[in-house]
Structure 1
Amino acid sequence: MLEFICCSMLTIFPDFLFRRYWQGKRLGQEITLFSMWYELRYGLSSCFILTVSLITLIFYYHPSTSNVTSFFRTVTILPEISGRVTEVMVENNQTVEEGDVIFKLDDSRQRAAVATARAAVIEVDAAALLAHDDTRVAQANFDAAEAAFEQTKDEFERKNTLFQENSPAVTVREVERLENLIQERLAAVDAAHSALESAKHRQEIQIPAQKDSAEASLNQAQVELSKMTIYAGQAGRIEQFDLRPGDYINPILRPAGILVPSDTGRGRFQAGFSQLTAQVLHPGMLAEISCATAPMRVTPMVIIGVQDVIPSGQVRPSDTLRDPQNLQRPGTVIAYMEPLWEGGIDHLPPGSQCEVNAYTSNHERLQDPDIGTAKFVALHVIDTVGYAHALILRFRAILMPFRTLVFSGHH
């Protein structure tokens, strides 16, 4: 309507003045409701063409959309394992800091597992002391066996020397007995050496491995015990939380509530523009938003980035081929916006539904000394009509409360 009124002042109104004062035609006589089209046909036709051209020019170079919001992330409050709630430390709508305890689950089974694992560690420590004693005993047995072998060997060599000298003090039977005893003593030495090596291996390899395994089991039990206490992973606000002691929590079937991080969704808005504006939108482009959460207020923004893909083309593996004709709605070009000044949107809560206007600026191009006259005028016209779009946004911001509360029936 605003564009039509502006265009009529340049087309219909001059045409009427020409008919009235140059041709002498008067309203109610020559110019009536039935003859208006014929009498003002040039002005009406020009006004229609100019209005359509102006609207097209405005909405192409200064695009607008109502698909604007600030998306924020939520964290589902869930334990890693199922359990019955024993204690609740927070309330709904409470602000928590990172590391605060939210609630606890029954941990009697996990505590018993920790005690069992700790007892196993103590048992392995005791076994290490016994293994050390066994090594000392095996070492003593090995030393005794070696001493017995050396004694038997010396006795055999002495009596064998006498036997070789044909001494009547030594018999053949006694020499043979000593030879057999040497073999027996040597076998005893080998057995004692094997027992000593086995004791050392148990002390140096088996016991440390058993202790590592016991300590790993203890750590695992302690980790399982720690899972029974649910902490806030980051600072935020607890929402939809209605947990009571005695409730049974399942990580799949029943979440405890939602944590809205305090730093998510702040300072940035996402806007979905028509695909026709893909060649116009660019980082650094100025914009303005008006939100229902802050009526009658327009906030200056700047586009910091434009998504280089359109969401409607997203494909996920499935058992059917995707047919383009099944797309219900074309995707939008998503632009990311931040306030022009720091803290400019602190008054807008995350999730606010807004309207946005983006404005094309040709200031730098107009500074080119080699620019042609036609292009110079065209760029000036493009920049100038942006004021009309800015005025429309402000009209919408002023009328938003009345349109929503009175005419739409939503209270």
Structure 2
Amino acid sequence: MLELLICSLLTVLPDYLFRRYRQGKRIGHEINFFSVWYELRFGITACFVLTVALITTIFYYHPATTRVASYFRTVTILPEAGGRVSGVNVVNNQFVQAGEVLFQLDASRQEAAVETAKAKIAEIEASLAVAATDLAATSAGVSQVEAVLRQAKEDLARNLTLRERGSAAVREAEIERLQNQVAQREGELEAARARQASVQENITVLIPAQRSSAVAALEQAEVELAKMTVVAGVSGRVEQFALQAGDFVSPLLRPAGILVPQEHVERDRFVAGFGQLTANVIKPGMFAEMGCLSKPFTVIPMVVVEIQDVIPSGQVRPSDQLRDPQDNPRPGTVTVYLEPLYAGQADDIPPGSTCLANAYTYNHDQLSDPALGLGEWAFLHMVDTVGIVHALLLRLQMLLLPVQTLVFSGH
């Protein structure tokens, strides 16, 4: 409507003034409701053409969008394992610090597993003390068998010496008996040493391995027990938290609530989606203006800091069907990142607010080029000038936004 009024001042109004004061035609006589088209056909046609050209120029070189928002991250409050709630430590909308306990789950089974693991460690340590006693006993047994074997060897050596001297007091049966006794004692010594080595292996290898396995089982049981206590991973505010003792929560079926981190909210960055037709117009460093529903009657100067180099509608995920372009639901938008031109101007805008934005083509650097032609110079001047129309439209929208929202839509 504003563009039509401006164009009519340059077309319809001069046409009317010419016919009124040059041709002498009067409203209500020669110019009436039925003859207005014929009498002002040149002005009306020129107004229509100029309005279309002006609107096209404005919306192409100074694009606008109603899809602007500041996104923020949320963390789902979920336990690592399902269970029944035994205690709740926070309430809804409470600010919590990282590491603060949110709620506990029933951990009777995990506590029993921890006690069992501790008992197993105590049992293994007791077996280590018993093994030390067995080692002392087997060492004493080895010493005893060595002494008996030494005595048997001395008796056999004495009898062999007497036989070599030809003594009649030595009998071959006695020598054979002593030889068999020495062999028996040597076998007993090997068996005693084997028992001693077995006990030593238990002390140095088996029992430490059993103790390490029991300690690992205890650590695993303690980890499972720790999972029954849910803590805040980051500092933030708890939202949609209506948990009570006795409720059942699960990482797959039922979360406990949402944690909105406060330190990671980008209050000075907004994401805007402009039409694909403006992809060649919007550039980093381009000036813009923004107005939000949460801050009416306010227009914030912005600047384009970054442009996403892909359009979301072209995203492909692997599946068992080939993607057909005709199935695209709607054309994607060019994702543009905006930041306030002056720091702090958008700090009081809540994250997630819906906003409007205009971006303005800025040709000052090109207009300062002395080699620029007259026609191009005039066109660039016209492009920069008509941006004021879009700026006025944005301000008019911000003025009418509360009325339109509260009165006509009822929200």
TM-score range, shorter chain: over 0.9
Q: Which residue of 2 aligns with 1:27?
A: 27
Q: Quick one: which amino acid aligns to residue 109 of structure 2?
A: R
Q: Which residue of 2 aligns with 1:204?
A: 204
Task: Evaluate the alpha carbon distance shift between residue 142 and residue 401 of structure 1 in structure 2; reply closer, same or farther with a 3 A threshold.
Answer: same
| Structure 2: distance between partners of 1:94 and 1:33 | 68
Q: Which residue of 2 aligns with 1:285?
A: 286
Task: Evaluate the alpha carbon distance shift between residue 260 and residue 169 of structure 1 in structure 2; reply closer, same or farther with a 3 A threshold.
Answer: same
| Structure 2: distance between partners of 1:370 and 1:149 | 118
Q: Which residue of 2 aligns with 1:111?
A: 111
Q: How far is 1:186 from its partner?
A: 2.1
Q: Quick one: which amino acid aligns to residue 288 of structure 1?
A: E
Q: Quick one: which amino acid aligns to residue 210 of structure 1?
A: Q
Assess if the C-alpha contact under 8 Å between 1:74 and 1:259 holds in 2: yes
| Structure 2: distance between partners of 1:404 and 1:125 | 75
| Structure 1: distance between partners of 2:166 and 2:379 | 137
What percentage of aligned pairs have identical amino acids? 54
Task: Evaluate the alpha carbon distance shift between residue 297 and residue 176 of structure 1 in structure 2; reply closer, same or farther with a 3 A threshold.
Answer: same
| Structure 1: distance between partners of 2:296 and 2:16 | 40
**Unmatched tracts of structure 1, length 5 or more:** none
**Count of residue correspondences:** 410
Residues 384-406 of structure 1: CA deviation (Å, up to 9, x unaligned): 22221111111100110011112
Structure 2 matches for 1:141-180, cutoff 5 A?
141-180=141-180
Assess if the C-alpha contact under 8 Å between 1:265 and 1:351 holds in 2: no
Q: Quick one: which amino acid aligns to residue 316 of structure 2?
A: V
Assess if the C-alpha contact under 8 Å between 1:138 and 1:196 holds in 2: yes
Q: Which residue of 2 aligns with 1:324?
A: 325
Q: Which residue of 2 aligns with 1:182?
A: 182
Determine if the alignment matches structure 1 residue 94 to structure 2 residue 94: yes
Q: Which residue of 2 aligns with 1:134?
A: 134
| Structure 2: distance between partners of 1:143 and 1:237 | 74
Q: Which residue of 2 aligns with 1:252?
A: 252
Structure 2 matches for 1:356-367, cutoff 5 A?
356-367=357-368
SS of the residue corresponding to residue 191 of structure 2 reads: helix
Assess if the C-alpha contact under 8 Å between 1:73 and 1:265 holds in 2: no
Q: Which residue of 2 aligns with 1:69?
A: 69
| Structure 2: distance between partners of 1:155 and 1:21 | 158
Q: Quick one: which amino acid aligns to residue 128 of structure 2?
A: A
| Structure 2: distance between partners of 1:147 and 1:287 | 103
Q: Quick one: which amino acid aligns to residue 130 of structure 1?
A: V
| Structure 2: distance between partners of 1:291 and 1:26 | 48
Q: TM-score, normalised by structure 1?
A: 0.92
Q: How far is 1:155 from its partner?
A: 3.7
Residues 197-220 of structure 1: CA deviation (Å, up to 9, x unaligned): 211211111111111111111111
Q: Quick one: which amino acid aligns to residue 299 of structure 2?
A: V
Assess if the C-alpha contact under 8 Å between 1:85 and 1:104 holds in 2: yes
| Structure 1: distance between partners of 2:239 and 2:184 | 84
| Structure 1: distance between partners of 2:161 and 2:199 | 40
Q: Quick one: which amino acid aligns to residue 173 of structure 2?
A: R
SS of the residue corresponding to residue 298 of structure 1 reads: strand
SS of the residue corresponding to residue 76 of structure 2 reads: strand
RMSD: 2.1
SS of the residue corresponding to residue 255 of structure 1 reads: coil
SS of the residue corresponding to residue 142 of structure 1 reads: helix
Assess if the C-alpha contact under 8 Å between 1:70 and 1:352 holds in 2: yes
| Structure 2: distance between partners of 1:320 and 1:271 | 32
Q: How far is 1:99 from its partner?
A: 1.5
Determine if the alignment matches structure 1 residue 274 to structure 2 residue 275: yes
Residues 130-163 of structure 1: CA deviation (Å, up to 9, x unaligned): 2222223223323333343344334433432332
Q: Which residue of 2 aligns with 1:370?
A: 371
| Structure 2: distance between partners of 1:384 and 1:162 | 136
Task: Evaluate the alpha carbon distance shift between residue 350 and residue 146 of structure 1 in structure 2; reply closer, same or farther with a 3 A threshold.
Answer: same
Assess if the C-alpha contact under 8 Å between 1:142 and 1:192 holds in 2: yes
Q: How far is 1:294 from its partner?
A: 0.8
| Structure 2: distance between partners of 1:83 and 1:306 | 46
Task: Evaluate the alpha carbon distance shift between residue 373 and residue 191 of structure 1 in structure 2; reply closer, same or farther with a 3 A threshold.
Answer: farther
| Structure 2: distance between partners of 1:405 and 1:332 | 29
Higher mean C-alpha displacement, 363-372 vs 233-242: 363-372
Task: Evaluate the alpha carbon distance shift between residue 363 and residue 125 of structure 1 in structure 2; reply closer, same or farther with a 3 A threshold.
Answer: farther
Q: Which residue of 2 aligns with 1:81?
A: 81
| Structure 2: distance between partners of 1:275 and 1:355 | 17
Determine if the alignment matches structure 1 residue 405 to structure 2 residue 403: no
| Structure 1: distance between partners of 2:286 and 2:131 | 78
| Structure 2: distance between partners of 1:371 and 1:147 | 117
| Structure 2: distance between partners of 1:343 and 1:289 | 14
